[in-house]
Amino acid sequence: MRLSVKPRRGGKTGAGPLSDQSIPGHRQLLSALCRGERGNKVKKKTVYVCSDCGYEAAKWMGKCPQCGQWNTLEEMTIREEKPGSLAPKNKLAAQPIPVCDIDLHSDKRVLTGISELDRVLGGGLVVGSLVLVAGEPGIGKSTLLLQVCRNLAEKQTVLYVTGEESLAQIRMRASRIGAMYPGLLILPETDLETIFQAADRLSPQTLIVDSIQTIQSDTSQSMPGSVSQVRESTLRLMQYAKQRGVSTFLVGHVNKDGGIAGPKVLEHMVDTVLYFEGERYAAHRMLRAAKNRFGSTNEIGMFEMVQSGLQEVTNPSAALIAGRPEGASGSCIVCTLEGTRPLLAEVQALVAKTAYGAARRMAAGIDYNRAVLLLAILEKRAGLLLSNYDSYINVVGGLRASEPAVDLAAAIAVASSYLEQTVDPHTAVFGEMGLSGEIRAVSGPSQRLREISRLGFSRCILPAAGCEDIEVPEGLEILPVRDIREAIRGAFRQSKPNTENHE
């Protein structure tokens, strides 16, 4: 770089190249200017990010130290500005406003036309929210969202972005479920910038992206579906949804462990995380909310897969206990409370003599550690010698019962199979079981009793604690119990069970 300066007093006239004697400290000035030019350049940094949990490491490792998974760390290049950059900062800072001046209309909800989905969302779809729907392949995620499009497209414009299926495939499914509306616009695209351009031109009220793992943004140089691409694309979609007031659905894949594929930050960025559960070839599907900023996470929605798509199950209790065998041991009806909805489900147990040295325990629909704990309580407090017997516990219908009220039903089902005695078919139970064998109270007993009576059951075994203030429906007999021995005797409607054949 050459600079022209006026000569010193007594020096030669004219401008010339800068020399060592012309300006003191010129080398420092030149170095500073050069550093300023280099400071505008972007610096690249390489890190390794776990595809399961989002853990970042400076070097590659075979096992992720945070989640313990093997071969999940992927290389990612981060572009960052040098801290001393002379690049201008022209961003406008957001202005704080008093909480009392915030517009309440920002929490406006729109009904999707599917009551089971609206229940799980907390009363409808919040305008400008970002909802992530995850589930196993073939479970019905795209079908559910296309039915949402069918209902919303009657009154508004809906943009459905597909990155996995062709237009012909979407057309066939839309024809099958009756979603042939001009307000439903299909865009086969994976480039995020192109999607934003189409959304700006069409101004939809609802945007659906199927799926987030196929979207690619120009701000990230990695492949679609990678940690950086999923994170960057979700961030930009979140900003777009909030700024434009567009309700957005994202379809997410799951990994081999059942969690959402991609970084954990994906679940933190969205407003709601919905899991679509159920066996792929089974009829019933369960919709749960793992996260919901606008409602409860305890609600559950139930669907049935039919020829015309997903059909709502308005009476899930009757569907879950349908086909219950009569006169068979190892079966007990429990009333569980999923959020504000009481559900009746059948808990089955099978106890068989073990053929090996160590007894085997298995549980489906109930936590395994909880099942092992219940078996230990039955052996210690009820006198059932289960250490030499294989024990299997299952909640029928694919329901995942996580609340403690299922304890009593699981224990009675195990005792029924062990003693080969049938539980009264007109009896339902609920209650938590403690380590001392005591039966503890659970929440919502009046709601449970009303559901039990509505389904035609005439008798209920429940915890004795707090039953004085419970509203009992007409025609329903209640049997308050204090411990597991008393509950087993009441379930079989006879005296103390005979365990001599098992000793």
Find how far residue 82's CA is from the centre of its chain: 38
Residue 3 included in any domain: no
Residues 146 and 239 occupy one common structural domain:
yes
- Asked whether the predicted pLDDT for residue 393 surpasses 90, the reply is yes
Residues 114 and 244 occupy one common structural domain:
yes
Helix 407-419 vs helix 484-492: crossing angle, to nearest 10: 60
Residues 33 and 123 occupy one common structural domain:
no
Q: What is the pLDDT of residue 241?
A: 95
- Asked whether the predicted pLDDT for residue 127 surpasses 80, the reply is yes
Of 293, 314, 335, the domain-final residue = 314
- Asked whether the predicted pLDDT for residue 4 surpasses 90, the reply is no
Q: What is the pLDDT of residue 20?
A: 46
- Encoding tokens for residue 189? 């695209």
For position 328, which CATH number holds? Answer: 3.30.230.10
Residue 16 included in any domain: no
Tell me which residue has tokens 């064998």.
437
Q: What is the pLDDT of residues 225-281, one digit of tens each?
A: 888 888 899 999 999 999 999 999 999 988 766 677 666 778 889 999 999 988 766
Q: What is the pLDDT of residues 44-84, one digit of tens each?
A: 678 888 877 778 888 899 998 888 888 888 887 766 544 44
Of 258, 281, 314, the domain-final residue = 314
Residues 350 and 473 occupy one common structural domain:
yes
Residues 39 and 134 occupy one common structural domain:
no
Identify the sign of the CA torsion 315, 320, 322, 327.
negative
Q: What is the pLDDT of residues 322-367, one digit of tens each?
A: 888 888 899 999 999 988 889 999 999 999 999 878 899 999 999 9
Tell me which residue has tokens 């087993």.
488
Q: What is the pLDDT of residues 152-168, one digit of tens each?
A: 999 999 999 999 999 99
Q: What is the pLDDT of residues 280-298, one digit of tens each?
A: 667 789 999 999 999 988 8
Least confident of 217-221, 308-312, 360-364: 217-221
Residue 96 included in any domain: no
Q: What is the pLDDT of residues 405-433, one digit of tens each?
A: 999 999 999 999 999 999 999 999 999 99
R_g of the chain, CA atoms, integer Å: 32
E-strand stretches of 27-128:
42-50, 56-57, 73-81, 109-110, 125-126
The single-letter code of the amino acid at 189 is E
Residue 6 included in any domain: no
Q: What is the pLDDT of residue 257?
A: 67
Helix (H) or strand (E) holding 152: helix 141-152
- Considering the chain, what is the average pLDDT of its residues? 85
Residue 366 included in any domain: yes
CB of 318 closer than 8 Å to CB of 156 = no
> 23-39: buried (b, 16+ CB within 10 Å) or exposed (e) per residue?
eeeeeeeeeeeeeeeee
Q: What is the pLDDT of residues 103-115, one digit of tens each?
A: 765 568 999 999 9
- Asked whether the predicted pLDDT for residue 6 surpasses 90, the reply is no
Residues 442, 403: Cα–Cα separation, whole Å: 9
Residues 280 and 156 occupy one common structural domain:
yes
pLDDT (average), residues 387-392: 95
- Asked whether the predicted pLDDT for residue 472 surpasses 60, the reply is yes
- Encoding tokens for residue 330? 């190892």
Cis peptide leading into 211, omega within 30 of 0?
A: yes
Residues ≥6 apart with Cβ < 8 Å to 176: 307, 308, 309
Residue 412 included in any domain: yes
Residues 110 and 67 occupy one common structural domain:
no
Q: What is the pLDDT of residue 343?
A: 92
CB of 128 closer than 8 Å to CB of 141 = no
Residue 13 included in any domain: no
Of 314, 346, 376, the domain-final residue = 314
Residues 274 and 322 occupy one common structural domain:
no
- Asked whether the predicted pLDDT for residue 395 surpasses 90, the reply is yes
Q: Which domain holds residue 64?
A: 26-80
Q: What is the pLDDT of residues 458-467, one digit of tens each?
A: 999 999 998 8
Residues 69, 459: Cα–Cα separation, whole Å: 49
Least confident of 33-37, 192-196, 249-253, 355-359: 33-37
Domain count, the chain: 3
Residue 322 included in any domain: yes
